[in-house]
Amino acid sequence: MAELEKKYCPSCYRQFDDDIVKCPHDRAELRGRHNDPLIGNLFAERYLIESVLGLGGMSIVYKAQHSLMNRTVAIKMLHQKLKDDSMALERFRLEAQAASSLNHQNVITVYDFGISPTGEPFFVMDCLSGESLEKIIDRDGRIEFRRAINIFKQVCDGLEEAHKKGIVHRDLKPANVILMRRDDGGDLVKLVDFGIAKLLPQAGKVQQQLTRTGEVFGSPIYMSPEQCLGRELDTRSDIYALGCLMYEAVAGEPPFIGDSFLETMNMHVDNHPKLISEKAPDSEVPAELEAAILCCLQKDPDIRFQTAGELKEVLSSVASAVGSASGGTASRSDTHPYGKGKQKRAPVEMIVVSMVASILLVMVAFVALWPGAADDRGAPLDKLLWSIYLSEAEDDVKKGKYESAESNFAKAEERCKRIGDRNQRLQTTLRSKTVLYEKWEGHAEDLEKVNNQIAAIDTERVKQEYFELMKLMDTFESKDHSAVSQSSKMLKAEAEIPKFVSVSSKLYSKGLWLEQEQLLKRCLAIERKLVGDDNLIIAKLETRLAECFVAQRKFLQVRQLLSHALSVFEKHGGDDPNSAVAALNKLGQFDLDRNDFKRAEPELARALERARKLSKKDNVLLLCLRSYADLLQLTNRVPAGDELDREADLLEKKIPVAVP
């Protein structure tokens, strides 16, 4: 750690050049190496203070010598203005507790903690003779990727140690990664500054109060999306911050940086980083390393590497593939594929190692990042986990483990939210969930909610199909100067008619009558251009449009549509006799509903007579029997109507029930 070269204000802790005497903000006398009251004096009865090493928002760090052990140390003290702040004192204590609980070569060592006789809270740690990753990036622009991989692997080791102890760093950034020189010339990494580290929930109530949900700590350029939103954090937040750090180290710029803290935080939540190969095309970062970094930067913690150890394994594979430098400064011999001082591998062996490592990294990137086909968007990892959770849930239902099943269904539903398949997987999950609530006593309300969700998904899907067909018809209706092209469009439109009819039926069943009306009117217009009015398809579409008008109470055009449809069906009676009888019965039923008995009776009587003569008649005959029975009962011929109803009841029992 280099000594602080500038003066500082003991009140606001801003730093100034050596020639300034008083702070321009609060007029306090500035301190430096010549007038700091601690420098040159014994602190806590055993540490001789030599100089100021650095300043932070909460503390100041001095270089000192242990008077008895002849060891150079760094002493961190809380700022004077925070000595009476109980929250600041507790956070300072927790930093010392977090760092002192770690015993790892890649984490700074804390030797002592206490309060001096003059009431100064402090802790004592290694005085590191190195420079921060931040200074190296500022000076060199970026770090050669082979050297960077070696640094990243050591950061992973330090993080893994902290995470195993239940500690989330929460402020991982280049300034908190110190690089020291090993005896062999390589880099030795030390993680420092656990000032806002969080002990995971098992650490107790006080710790949770200090870092309650909603509070935001950290450096915005390196904060995870969940950290920016003030949500509960776990170790995967550090994985994201490490992704930001790695990105900046090899690209020379962080993945996100806005004009303000808030803008930067919003970018972490909403934006996707540029590819390193685009931001720094001359950095020569291999695709495998880039994929690993981008995996760390996923918005969803579940899609990132889940542990620092997992990330290190992938980095090691990348290092094997590209020939990572073992030391800190990548010399020509260090960066040679065979490595300095190592036995040369045979070319074939090197190719195999490179291929295996590359395949591993490509698979990691594929599983984590590939979005999927256009009609089934989502990472394969999410689709795989959805399948696993759903299978476990269904198995739990069979075993009667209902609480476990409910939990697994919830996990499956959460995965569905990340997959763009028009909610097909979500609907499958919910249908399976209905089986759970049908078996689980006391969950009738939950069953109703799930059924409502399924119905809402069905409705939304039908709407989407409707919008797509309306866009398709825009292309059919556009004018084309070429007769051949226009003819081709019309033929394509005719091929889509069955789909129009199917979606029309779905819209009707969902009560989306306005949408059904618009669809059928446009479909009729296109079909009339193709074949004119005298066509069975026209008659079927008109019948459906008439039903749509009845549902909306738009009665004026119903008779005209049904009459025309009936005339077409009768003209082509030999082609579709059942539809002709059904159309006649629909016309009679419409008149009956309007209390126009004079028109309804001959229409319904004729429909029933013709229905009895059909070869495949059961469903049509059933409708005709019911309609004519209604007429008889409404015109004071109840016994005759009841007789037809009994005949209909017997017929209904013979008709097989369709299984969905």
Q: Which helix (H) or strand (E) holds 65?
A: strand 59-66
Contacts of 91 (CB under 8 A, 6+ apart): 58, 195, 196, 210
The residue whose two tokens read 């059924």 is 451
SS3 assignment, position 165: coil
Q: Considering only CA atoms, which of 212, 178, 210, 208 is closest in space to residue 192?
A: 178
Q: Which helix (H) or strand (E) holds 47?
A: strand 47-55
Tell me how far the alpha carbon of residue 642 is from its chain's centroid.
61
Q: How many helices (H) and strands (E) does the chain have?
A: 25, 13
Residue 494 burial (C-beta neighbours within 10 Å; 0-12, 13-18, 19+): middle
DSSP 170: S
Nearest 5°: phi and psi at 417? Answer: -65, -20
171 noted as active-site residue? yes
Q: Considering only CA atoms, which of 313, 314, 310 is closest in space to residue 289?
A: 314
CA 47/CA 36 separation, integer angstroms: 15
Q: Considering only CA atoms, which of 157, 168, 170 is closest in space to residue 106?
A: 157
CA 509/CA 503 separation, integer angstroms: 10
CB 73 within 8 A of CB 46: no
Helices (H), 280-346: 287-296, 308-322, 332-335
CB 312 within 8 A of CB 156: yes
Q: Which helix (H) or strand (E) holds 42?
A: strand 42-43
DSSP letters spanning 178-210: EEEE-TTS-EEEEE---TT-EE-GGG-HHHHHH
Q: Please give the biggest Cα pair distance in the chain.
A: 119
Count of Cβ atoms closer than 10 Å to residue 362 Cβ: 13
The residue whose two tokens read 């129009």 is 500
Nearest 5°: phi and psi at 73? Answer: -135, 170
SS3 assignment, position 330: coil
Contacts of 382 (CB under 8 A, 6+ apart): 303, 415, 418, 419
Q: Considering only CA atoms, which of 552, 548, 538 is closest in space to residue 586?
A: 548
Distances (CA, A) of 206 to 94, 129, 199, 201: 10, 35, 10, 10
Contacts of 239 (CB under 8 A, 6+ apart): 296, 301, 304, 305, 306, 307, 308, 311
Identified catalytic residue from 36, 126, 157, 171: 171
**Active-site amino acid positions:** 171
